Structure 1
Amino acid sequence: MKKQFTILATAITLISTGTFAQDINPNQVPSVVANSFKREFPKASDIEWELDGQNYNVDFEIGWGTDHEIWYDAAGYMLKHEEEIPKGELPKSVATTIDSEFKDLRIDEAKKITEGKQVTYEVELENFTEEWKVFFSSTGEVLHKIND
């Protein structure tokens, strides 16, 4: 339960600080942050930076439109990484939970979210009358769900 609270608190913090984020020119990104990003993602394209409170947020693509979003602290340490993934890359445990608890819905979009060593998944599920955003642990446990 404590782990779930930590995930939820982090998500709320990032969402609430995101409302105050401002676009910045790449030359305004500290070199330690920019170098950390370039070293980790040398093939990134369509790069957009924002200052998000004290942290730096970067949106980019790799390959044929695979979207990524990363938050770095001012020292260049990666705080959080969200990446779009094909639904076939969801862990079997997550797919099994979707099949049993959301059987009337189909997967519209999936993201892998890495914060430190913790990995969670955000899955958008829908049918003709419902839309849900559901957060799963890597073991398939439903952490949080939002009816969109």
Structure 2
Amino acid sequence: MKKLILLLSLVTVTTTTVVSAQDLKEKNVPATVKAAFMKKYPDAKKVSWEMEKGNYEANWGGKSGEDNSAVFTPSANFVEIVVAMKINELPASIAPYIAKNYKGMKMLEAGKVTDAAGKHMFEVEIKGKDLIFDEKGVFIKED
């Protein structure tokens, strides 16, 4: 019995990890979430949706369709928006921090984050990780 419970726990953790970011069809996004999104971003076109960390993420704009990513909770509360930016537009302190603390890792994407309270941060994607920096380019956390 203990082995069965351990096996089921392992399968659950593995499955949860693998599907942490899951593409969704628009019909599977709650109407309240879609309505809150369209109210906040009425000009958004060609929106794709995914589920990330239990929240709904809308992606739209640009050639890749992901120049903007807005996150809403299942109860339709706005969490944050990330607007894509060029890596060379990041605060000057970020590149040296990554070079020192993530040796050999290349910055793949960057974005300016604005949360529900209006606080600004920067997000930098490196292989398999998102690094979060404050508005001055000071490291906050690895996400």
TM-score using structure 1 length: 0.57
Q: Deviations over 1:50-90 (max 9, x none)?
A: 344642222x2224545222221123211132221134654
Conservation of the 8 A alpha-carbon contact between 1:17 and 1:53: no
- In the aligned structure 1, how far is the partner of 2:50 from the partner of 2:124? 25
The percentage of aligned residue pairs carrying the same residue is: 25
Equivalent residue of 2:83, what SS?
strand
Instruction: Give 2:140's aligned residue.
Output: 143
Count of residue correspondences:
122
Equivalent residue of 1:82, what SS?
strand
Structure with max Cα Rg = 2
The answer to which structure has the higher strand fraction is 1
Unaligned stretches of 5+ residues in structure 2: 1-15
Conservation of the 8 A alpha-carbon contact between 1:84 and 1:112: yes
Root mean square deviation of aligned Cα = 3.8
- In the aligned structure 1, how far is the partner of 2:95 from the partner of 2:87? 13
Superposition map of 1:1-148 within 5 A: 19-52=19-52, 54-58=54-58, 60-65=59-64, 67-87=67-87, 89-90=89-90, 94-95=91-92, 97-98=93-94, 109-117=109-117, 118-123=119-124, 134-144=131-141
Unaligned stretches of 5+ residues in structure 1: 1-15, 126-131
Conservation of the 8 A alpha-carbon contact between 1:107 and 1:123: yes
TM-score using structure 2 length: 0.58
Equivalent residue of 1:70, what SS?
strand
Conservation of the 8 A alpha-carbon contact between 2:71 and 2:81: yes
